[in-house]
Amino acid sequence: MEKKRIAIIGAGVAGMAMALLAKKQGHEVQLFERAAAHTVMGAGVTLWPNAMFVMQQMGLAQQITRAGGTPDSVCQYDRSGNRHNALDIDQLNGLSGYATVTILRRDLIRILGEALRAQGVTVQFATTIALRDIDRLRQTFDLVIGADGRMHSVVRQALFASPRLPCYQGFINVMGISKFRANTLSNIIGDFRYPGERFGIVPVKPDMCFWAGAWRTPIDKSRPPSAWLSELKQRFGGWAAPVQSVLKHAEPESVRPVFVHDLDPLPYWHKDNVVVIGDAAHAALPTSGQGACQALEDAWQLVSLMSHQEELSAVLSAFYRLRVEKTTMALHAGRQLAQQLFFGQGDMSASQSGVSVALLSQLWMQGLSA
């Protein structure tokens, strides 16, 4: 495709990856971000091999791996710490051909931001794009990409006559970061469960982890942030030792509640020269473990299609056809696990470990080859 002028709205994972990959293909990119500086939603992410495939294509895999951790398994425990199931990440990585890396979100965003600067792409911070601006952008640019997230995407709004709003799925995730030496878990992602409640601990460095406590609850935005750490300590008070340790060493300023919403599948993601990617197009629950991974895949697939096809409308139609099945699978996987965890009996077999490592690798690596 000949070089295009591209406007990207939102400098999150999807927008920054899109800007980097498009710039590398020689397109002219402008990136608009409403926040005054890069924002950090959540404490950390696990970049599964499909995400690390994209990092490799962006030339960032080494940097990401250096900044993050490489866990060797996910283990499920009951709240007393008795181990029930395990997923062998080393085996998954071997089958997939790429590592799994856990990383603090602030490091992920920093690395993407530095890579953008190195490519000469500047982010126009403190620039909120409103619904009425989209028409102007679509006339000024060849392509307008909405990477403006799950909750209030104005680009998604511009695509549909009636609003497509995210739905609350009935549980909260309270996330944070702790500095401590996790002897008991070392290099294991720990997934502690009790019917209706879950506490996950993700090691990043020997002295650093991120974590999330989750439970079923109605939305309550009246509490101050400090109240959530107290609630966590009370709610998970009798749980296994690693849970106690992370809560004891939590960095209070990192603690953040998210009332978790996802998005029903959309019938299309583009109209004329306007398209949505990432959470704006297909926001899955954190129980899918795939939100940021799928946002990265979107960026890589869209840019790949642009390099192989001339006609923009054909590219955007092909992009939806190529991506909708996998992202819908992530959505359903996230909902199914959330249902079992928070509204079922907390069945210890309800997890990715119910799926074979070979199948998981096949599912997540589907459609990815350089």
Ligand X SMILES: Cc1cc2nc3c(=O)[nH]c(=O)nc-3n(C[C@H](O)[C@H](O)[C@H](O)COP(=O)(O)OP(=O)(O)OC[C@H]3O[C@@H](n4cnc5c(N)ncnc54)[C@H](O)[C@@H]3O)c2cc1C
Tell which positions 257-276 bind ligand X, by CB under 6 A.
Answer: 258, 260
Nearest distance in Å: CB 282, ligand X: 9
Question: Which run of H or E residues covers position 134?
Answer: helix 133-140
**CA dist., res. 128 & res. 106, Å (int):** 22
Q: Is 148 in the site for ligand X (CB under 6 A)?
A: yes
Minimum distance of ligand X from residue 152's CB (angstroms)? 6
Q: Give kind and range of the element (H or E) at residue 256.
A: strand 256-262
Structure tokens at 44: 């950390």
Say which residue the tokens 């990136």 belong to.
31
Give the one residue of 129, 188, 274, 305 binding ligand X; rule: CB under 6 A. Answer: 129
Q: Which is nearer to ligand X, 128 or 366 (CB)?
A: 128
- Contacting ligand X within 229-258 (CB under 6 A): 258
Query: In terms of CB distance, is 19 or 243 closer to ligand X?
Result: 19
Identify residue 294 by its one-letter amino acid code: Q
Tokens of 166: 């995210």
191 part of the interface to ligand X, by CB under 6 A: no
Q: Does 291 contact ligand X by CB under 6 A?
A: yes
* Site residues (CB under 6 A) for ligand X, limited to 31-50: 32-35, 39, 41-42, 45-46
CB within 8 Å of 193: residues ≥ 6 apart? 76, 77, 78, 79, 199, 341, 346, 348
Looking at the Cβ atoms of 39 and 187, the one nearer to ligand X is: 39
SS3 state at 368? coil
Eight-state DSSP code of residue 249: T
Query: Is residue 149 at the binding interface for ligand X, with CB under 6 A as the rule?
Result: yes
What's the closest the beta carbon of residue 311 comes to ligand X, in angstroms? 26
Query: Running DSSP on this structure, what letter comes out for residue 123?
Result: E
Could you tell me the smallest distance in angstroms from the CB atom of residue 281 to ligand X? 8
Distance of CA 88 to the CA centre of its chain: 21
Instruction: Give the dihedral sign, CA 3/282/158/218.
Output: negative
From the list 65-73, 292-300, 336-344, 353-361, the region that binds ligand X by CB under 6 A is: 292-300
Contact set with ligand X (CB under 6 A): 9-15, 32-35, 39, 41-42, 45-46, 128-129, 147-149, 152, 154, 173, 175, 258, 260, 278-280, 286, 289-293, 295
